[in-house]
Amino acid sequence: LSRLAPRSAIRPHCAPTNLRLTCHLGLAVPPGGGCRIRVGADWRTWAEGRCLLFDDSFEHEVRNDTDRARVVLLLRFFHPDLAPARRGA
């Protein structure tokens, strides 16, 4: 689980490799669009019960400008284009 406190942010960062994809399933998402994620140049918002999928090798950051915490289930899995032989490395 990933919890982002009210009125907080995660600074821009990126993963060291593009071998995986990241999925966020919204569990508790403040309404109104004040809690968002930027991946590359695109800003997105979460929705409860919906998945947001992204390649975390692109620079990304998170902002929560609301008075409520954001909670997502964070899942990571191999990129589907990754050859099976590379998955065990």
In a domain, 7, yes or no: yes
Which CATH number belongs to the domain containing residue 68 in this structure?
2.60.120.10
In a domain, 26, yes or no: yes
pLDDT reported for residue 89: 59
pLDDT tens string for the chain (89 positions)? 999 999 999 999 999 999 999 999 999 999 999 999 999 999 999 999 999 999 999 999 999 999 999 999 999 999 988 888 887 75
pLDDT reported for residue 6: 99
In a domain, 52, yes or no: yes
In a domain, 85, yes or no: no
Domain that holds residue 62: 2-12+21-79
Dihedral of alpha carbons 81, 86, 88, 89, sign: negative
Nearest to 42 by CA among 31, 51, 53, 32: 53
In a domain, 27, yes or no: yes
Domain count, the chain: 1
**Residue 61 contacts residue 9 (beta carbons within 8 Å):** yes
